[in-house]
Amino acid sequence: MSKLDEIVSLCKRRGFIFPGSEVYGGFAGTWDFGPLGVILKKKIMDEWWKFFVENRDDMYGVDAAILMNPLVWKASGHTATFADPLVECKECKSRFRADKIADGINESVSSEEFWNLHVKCPVCGKENWGPIRKFNMMFSTHVGAVLPDDDAELSEKSVAYLRPETAQGIFVNYKNVVDTFYPTIPFGLAQQGKAFRNEISPRDFILRDRECSQMEIEYFVKPSEWEVSFEMLRGLQHEFLENVMGLNASSIHEFEVAPEDRAHYSERTIDFMFDYPNGSEELMGLAYRTDFDLANIARESGKSMEYRDKNTGETYVPHVIEPSIGVERLFLAVLTNAYFEDEVDGASRVVLKLPENLAPYRFCVSPLLKNKPELVEKAQEVYQILRSRYGNVTWDDSGNIGKRYRKQDEIGTPKCVVIDFDTLNDNSVTVRDRDDTSQVRVLISEL
């Protein structure tokens, strides 16, 4: 079993992530976060917000609507260009994203280029492909009482889209923030929220799915000074990934995206790649979007997007640097980095060596024996003390103490606190460390 399979199994077994709609047979490209997954996901998002927004004076938060005026996606270019190369096998009718089943090609591959590679269908093994077609990945819906089978003109006017990115929600609020807060450039607007992409072939667990959460910043800068801000944000991304998320620096690689492979809005893009179990994949992006988005909004809306400098009185349309990351991709990177298998006292174990700031529970409190009322009562007392102090504390009195340790190792709990008969005499407890399994006696007052 591969490491990715082991992580998927652990997530299901211990309540981190479940297949979406599993009771009805599942729904491809969707995943549900269980009790521990919700905690870990929230901690990841909270740490990002604290690092990039709360701890800085140049950042402001927004939370825009998921449903937006369709003109947003026309102006941004998504209606015309947000597409993947779809190819269909004529033999078994299976459909794939062409650039993901063949090596050495990108999203702009032509039919002839793909055919010349003689790729065999991953499902039936045949080589009989139709032409490549561009497949727009935006989910469409209808807003209001007009139904799709009503008058065609009315139906077309009712079309809206589930947002494929959170960035446009920031751009449409740029002028609102400038007019109400009048921030000093450079400044950033940050947003966390859901995004939806109708992936042709979702795969690799939560790495590529149809519903995801994003964390994005649009950092508005003076056009002539964009490189300074680009490098500043580049350094902050490394600091966040390595020092706050605890990812190994050796697993993170910068990839300078070639002009022909960059998104239509970008003049420069660096992809931060991470060594996942299935290979190196994009974890985080840093893009220089110039004034592409604000200029498009000005053109489509007829409203000025100019910024007036407080000090010089100079007016200009700001340029934008965009750090962007998918929560699920970061979630999987954290699990990949933390997942270990080792041997303790001759027995194998699985352990998640999560940083303390991300572990779902900081402590697990247990009575040595659950059938001894005096131990249970004392353990509950310790549990309440730690819970009031730290919040993220769990209780476990199931099975023997060894099984409890193994369970807490698997979910990443850094410390297990055990109340035994000595505790009743001297108010000391056994604290067992997750990573090296060492045990020490500590006074309750010193926990």
DSSP letters along 62-81, please? ----SB--THHHHHHTHHHH
Give yes or no for a contact between 339 and 350, defined as CB atoms under 8 angstroms apart: yes
The number of CA neighbours under 13 Å toward the Cβ of 223 is: 13
Other C-beta atoms closer than 10 Å to the C-beta of 25 total: 7
Two structure tokens written together for 265: 């809005």
Other C-beta atoms closer than 10 Å to the C-beta of 388 total: 9
Architecture of domain 361-446: 3-Layer(aba) Sandwich (3.40)
The pLDDT value recorded for residue 1 is 64
The pLDDT value recorded for residue 343 is 83
CATH of 3-65+162-335, one of 3.60.15.10, 3.30.930.10, 3.20.20.30, 3.90.1150.10: 3.30.930.10
Beta bridge partners of 153: none
Two structure tokens written together for 39: 């905690």
Decide: helix, strand or coil at residue 217: strand
For β-strands 415-419 and 363-367, DSSP reports them as parallel
Q: What is the pTM of this model?
A: 0.90
The pLDDT value recorded for residue 127 is 93
Two structure tokens written together for 162: 């589930």
The pLDDT value recorded for residue 85 is 87
The pLDDT value recorded for residue 148 is 57
The pLDDT value recorded for residue 84 is 81
Domain ranges of the chain: 3-65+162-335, 361-446
Beta bridge partners of 140: 161
Please give the DSSP secondary-structure letter assigned to residue 261.
Answer: G
Helix axes 327-338 and 3-13, enclosed angle (nearest 10): 100
Two structure tokens written together for 53: 């927004």
Decide: helix, strand or coil at residue 245: coil
Task: Write out the chain's pLDDT in tens, 447 residues.
Answer: 679 999 999 999 999 999 999 999 999 999 999 999 999 999 999 999 999 999 999 999 999 999 999 999 888 888 777 778 889 999 998 888 888 888 888 877 889 999 999 999 999 999 999 999 888 788 888 888 766 566 655 556 778 999 999 999 999 999 999 999 999 999 999 999 999 998 877 888 999 899 999 999 999 999 999 999 999 999 999 999 999 999 999 999 999 999 888 888 899 999 999 999 999 999 999 999 999 999 999 999 999 999 999 888 999 999 999 999 999 999 999 999 999 998 887 888 999 999 999 999 999 999 999 999 999 999 999 999 999 999 999 999 998 999 999 999 999 999 999 999 999 999 999 999 999 999 999 999 998
The pLDDT value recorded for residue 153 is 58
* CA 134/CA 107 separation, integer angstroms: 10
